[in-house]
Amino acid sequence: MIENTVAKLYEFIAKMLVLLDKDLANIPEQDNELQLKKNITSIFNRLVALVIQLNKLSKEERFFVTEALPEEDLEIIDRFVSKYKKK
């Protein structure tokens, strides 16, 4: 039961990350859009942090998610982290 919930959370977060990535890519390069980019980036960071927390929970509680994140989702996360990492 809990394993299904964790898997559904992963799936939901992955869909949210894809949508946010698309939205971020479609924002024009204008100064007045900077706050919107910051908000989307903040949400993206929180979702990535949630995935990390779910991984820790899975390991601590020995919940094993049978499906890993799809390769496409992992690539989106990697691109985001490398593009927007804090310096």
Is the pLDDT at 57 greater than 60? The verdict is: yes
Cα 26 vs. chain centroid, distance in angstroms?
Answer: 18
The kind and range of the H/E element at 78 are helix 71-84
- pLDDT, one tens digit per residue, over 22-55 is 888 888 877 677 888 888 888 888 988 888 888 7
Give, to the nearest 10 degrees, the angle between helix 2-25 and helix 34-61: 160
Q: What is the token pair recorded at 45?
A: 């960071």
Is the pLDDT at 2 greater than 70? The verdict is: no
**44 contacts 1 by C-beta, under 8 angstroms:** no
Tell me the whole-structure pTM to 2 decimals.
0.58
Q: What does the domain layout of the chain look like in residue ranges?
A: 2-84
